Structure 1
Amino acid sequence: MVSAQALVLPELHAPFQVLEVELDNLRPDEVLVEMKATSICATDPAVQRGKIPQTFPVVLGHEGAGIVKEVGSAVSNLTKGDHLVLSYDSCGKCRHCQKKNNFRCLEIMKRNFGGQREDGSHTIIKEGKPVSSCFFGQSSFCNPAIVQANSCVKVDSSLDLAVICSLGCGIQTGAGSIFNVVKPVEKDVRSLGVFGLGAVGCAAVMAAHILSKDNPTVLSHVIAVDVNESRLKLAKELGATHTINPANEDVRARLMQLTEQEGLDAAVDCTGVLSVINSMIDFIGSGGIAVTIGNPGNESKASVPILPFIIGAKTYCASHQGNADPKSFIPHLASLYKQGRLPIDRLQKTYKAEDINEAIADMKNGSVIKPVLLWS
């Protein structure tokens, strides 16, 4: 067995602990990855708070990046030394995966949140006892890490893994909601509202800005909504044309003014706050689309006014992982970053891996959007 350093969450609401663990033997469809960086996504502290159920102790982490150390016997598309960004896991076999709609994989829950391999075994062991792992097929709060091959995305080795690690979930989710779900060019979207300016919301703003520059007839109004003034200022710098602070303005009145009383053509909620989701749904106009990304809780139900949606031929939908195939979408995003068009580094602050609790505290108080843990 291989020894590893892991950031272990021992129980609900507890701080993470830095522990020495052992890795199980590599399976044919797995990859041993030397981690270089793992960014923290809101999903990680959500498990810590109990918003997403897991069995404890658990090793989380699902925005990892590193270098291949060893590949399993059934892995043919990767080799030692390849640079990887790690994303979500999928079976690769069901009808959705066969069409590269892996975000709809029929096994998505158990492969990403099941806490174990498909056969019930665990990749991480502590003092002879299994530790919940395989989080998003990677549990990248561990170095090195055993990663499911379907979670591995090969990337340009010239790119800084400490930056592009964030493409694995949050940035993919936000950018993908615009590129793959809202589809502003195809649907002639003139006005877009982005609610919540964490990493996901900022990525949505950046994606909208890219599309508006390439297609000047769409997205004349990219409207960012948040209660944090520093985030609103950043959104303007990232490409938002207008900003709204609900603490100071009537959001509905301002949106109607900006859209000449038509309502939004598209809206994306990145807050996961049910009241914001329901307001977003009300803000879209005729033919508009409202997209939910953030999860307000497993039992939550959105409220959709049926008759206005029928009359206006409106759409309410959800987006998972930006409805993206990570094998192709993450390299595309990495290319945009390399071109200077997707400045995700502006969202990041780096920490030593062992300072994870400080990083999460900074994320929680809003002083940092995207903490990145660096592995020595």
Structure 2
Amino acid sequence: MDITAAVVEQAGGAFKLETVSLEPPAADEVLVEIAGVGLCHTDVAVAQGHLPFPLPGVLGHEGSGTVAAVGSDVRKVVVGDRVTLSFNSCGACAQCAKDSPAYCHQFMPLNFGGVRADSSSSLSRGGTALGGNFFGQSSFATHALANARNVVKVPDSAPLSLLGPLGCGVQTGAGAVLNSLDVDPGSSLIVTGAGPVGLSAVLAAVVRELSPIIVVEPVAQRRTLALSLGATHAIDPAEGPVSEQVRAIIPDGADYAVDTTALIPVLDQLLLSLSNHATLGTVGVPADPTAALPLNLIQSQVTGLTFKAIVEGDSDPDTFIPELLALHEAGRFPFDKLITTMPFSQINEAIAAQHRGDAVKVVLVHD
């Protein structure tokens, strides 16, 4: 079928809306008519050439919409079901067997390979294959082919066009707190970066009843938003060393930290802001793939530091996304307050708006 998709021709290029061809669903695939799709930092990083993916191609990995067709082997959803889409996984490796699909042994080829598991292409333009199947969906389009494993059915009461970020950015931040670190109620937390992932971590910290919840963020309006969402303190790094500002609030340092920046100077200060026996979780994607964190081994041993690298908030989307939706329904996880909607046709303007800090999380919606 012919669909409209945002195509990136080459690294560093803009997104261009074009008519492309989408294959019908294979036996284990689901065709979804996209209602909305979140704009994630990872999409931009791939478009700029910082992460591997075959171009020209179609990105997008925070889609939500309605099931339009299913493959012959699909029993999980039926035509007409409302769904949100998440990352892909194989379902057969040791990690998937332990309900830990974020660490699937086939994560990179399944999510960044640009082709289906059988190496075929789902997207083409003028008879030439395009990179597709991004995170098992390529949802910067009017329609997307997903795999049954990365489709999650959602209630009719949920705001369908806004749900896509639950499949990546929101579940990454919230999962970092609730799953990866599994923070103890009443403990203290620092979050560096008040973007959608960091603010989702703040929302989860409020759910877990942490205090203090300290956000480090250079943009004033995002510090204000963090406080409105439940952060107890918002630090401007321009006002002095972050570690000194943190220890003015918590003299012994924080019990937990979540870094969303992947910036070494930020992490250096964060390490100096932690208490003994603290845990640091990192979710940020560095612009330089060779970036490395210099860690003082004596200091980390004396303090009993635990370092946790985190993918997708250690989430199993089939169970975690419904948990987040239940919290949202109860008024305890207002992730929609992070979202600004823009028309899908304005994808390049949306990227610029997020870069300027005018929007925390853009969701591109179709008419």
Shorter-chain TM-score: what band?
A: over 0.9
Residues 1:193 and 2:183 are matched in the alignment: no
Q: Does the 8 Å CA contact 1:172/1:321 hold for their aligned counterparts?
A: yes
How far is 1:348 from its partner?
1.2
**Structure 2: 5+ residue stretches without partners:** none
Q: What is the match of residue 301 of structure 2?
A: 310
How far is 1:368 from its partner?
0.6
- Which residue, 199, 203, 215 being the options, matches 1:202? 199
Q: Does the 8 Å CA contact 2:242/2:270 hold for their aligned counterparts?
A: no
Separation (CA, whole Å) in 2 of partners of 1:251 and 1:282: 9
RMSD: 1.2
Separation (CA, whole Å) in 2 of partners of 1:19 and 1:96: 38
- Which residue, 305, 319, 322 being the options, matches 2:310? 319
Q: What is the match of residue 149 of structure 2?
A: 150
| AA of the residue aligned to 1:128 | G
What is the aligned-residue identity percentage? 38
Separation (CA, whole Å) in 1 of partners of 2:181 and 2:250: 17
Q: What is the match of residue 216 of structure 1?
A: none
Q: What is the match of residue 365 of structure 1?
A: 356
After TM superposition, the structure 1 = structure 2 runs for residues 4-153 of structure 1, keeping only pairs within 5 Å, are: 4-153=3-152
- Which residue, 319, 333, 350 being the options, matches 1:328? 319
After TM superposition, the structure 1 = structure 2 runs for residues 258-273 of structure 1, keeping only pairs within 5 Å, are: 258-260=249-251, 262-273=252-263
Separation (CA, whole Å) in 2 of partners of 1:278 and 1:29: 45
How far is 1:25 from its partner?
2.9
Separation (CA, whole Å) in 1 of partners of 2:258 and 2:83: 29
Q: Does the 8 Å CA contact 1:277/1:292 hold for their aligned counterparts?
A: no
> What is the TM-score when the length of structure 1 is the normalising length?
0.95
Cα distance change, pair 293–192 in 1 and its aligned pair in 2 (3 A):
same
Q: Does the 8 Å CA contact 1:176/1:324 hold for their aligned counterparts?
A: yes
Separation (CA, whole Å) in 1 of partners of 2:162 and 2:332: 14
Residues 1:252 and 2:243 are matched in the alignment: yes
Q: Does the 8 Å CA contact 2:242/2:273 hold for their aligned counterparts?
A: no
- Which residue, 217, 237, 243 being the options, matches 2:228? 237
Stretch moving more, 320-329 or 242-251: 242-251
1:142 is paired with a residue whose SS is coil
Separation (CA, whole Å) in 2 of partners of 1:7 and 1:141: 6
Separation (CA, whole Å) in 2 of partners of 1:108 and 1:275: 29
Q: Does the 8 Å CA contact 2:76/2:148 hold for their aligned counterparts?
A: no
How far is 1:221 from its partner?
0.7
Q: Does the 8 Å CA contact 1:281/1:316 hold for their aligned counterparts?
A: no
1:184 is paired with a residue whose SS is coil
How far is 1:353 from its partner?
0.9
| AA of the residue aligned to 2:147 | Q
Separation (CA, whole Å) in 2 of partners of 1:313 and 1:248: 29
Separation (CA, whole Å) in 1 of partners of 2:241 and 2:143: 50
Separation (CA, whole Å) in 1 of partners of 2:152 and 2:134: 16
Separation (CA, whole Å) in 2 of partners of 1:239 and 1:204: 11
Separation (CA, whole Å) in 1 of partners of 2:162 and 2:168: 13
| AA of the residue aligned to 2:194 | L
| AA of the residue aligned to 2:52 | P
Superimposed CA distance per residue, residues 236-286 of structure 1 (whole angstroms, 9 cap, x where no aligned partner): 1101011110112331112112112x1211111011222212322332221
After TM superposition, the structure 1 = structure 2 runs for residues 286-297 of structure 1, keeping only pairs within 5 Å, are: 286-296=276-286, 297=288
How far is 1:302 from its partner?
1.0
Separation (CA, whole Å) in 2 of partners of 1:298 and 1:197: 22
Residues 1:350 and 2:341 are matched in the alignment: yes
Separation (CA, whole Å) in 2 of partners of 1:220 and 1:128: 57
Stretch moving more, 15-24 or 277-286: 277-286
Q: Which runs of 4+ in 1 moved over 3 A?
A: none
**Structure 1: 5+ residue stretches without partners:** 213-218
Q: Does the 8 Å CA contact 2:342/2:364 hold for their aligned counterparts?
A: yes
How far is 1:352 from its partner?
1.2
Separation (CA, whole Å) in 2 of partners of 1:25 and 1:240: 46
Separation (CA, whole Å) in 2 of partners of 1:305 and 1:154: 46
Superimposed CA distance per residue, residues 67-103 of structure 1 (whole angstroms, 9 cap, x where no aligned partner): 1111111111111111111000000111110111001
Separation (CA, whole Å) in 1 of partners of 2:214 and 2:359: 22
Q: Does the 8 Å CA contact 2:24/2:31 hold for their aligned counterparts?
A: no
Stretch moving more, 195-204 or 41-50: 41-50
1:171 is paired with a residue whose SS is helix
Q: Does the 8 Å CA contact 2:241/2:269 hold for their aligned counterparts?
A: no
Superimposed CA distance per residue, residues 194-246 of structure 1 (whole angstroms, 9 cap, x where no aligned partner): 0000000000001001110xxxxxx2210000001111111011010111101
2:237 is paired with a residue whose SS is coil
Q: What is the match of residue 183 of structure 2?
A: 184
2:68 is paired with a residue whose SS is strand
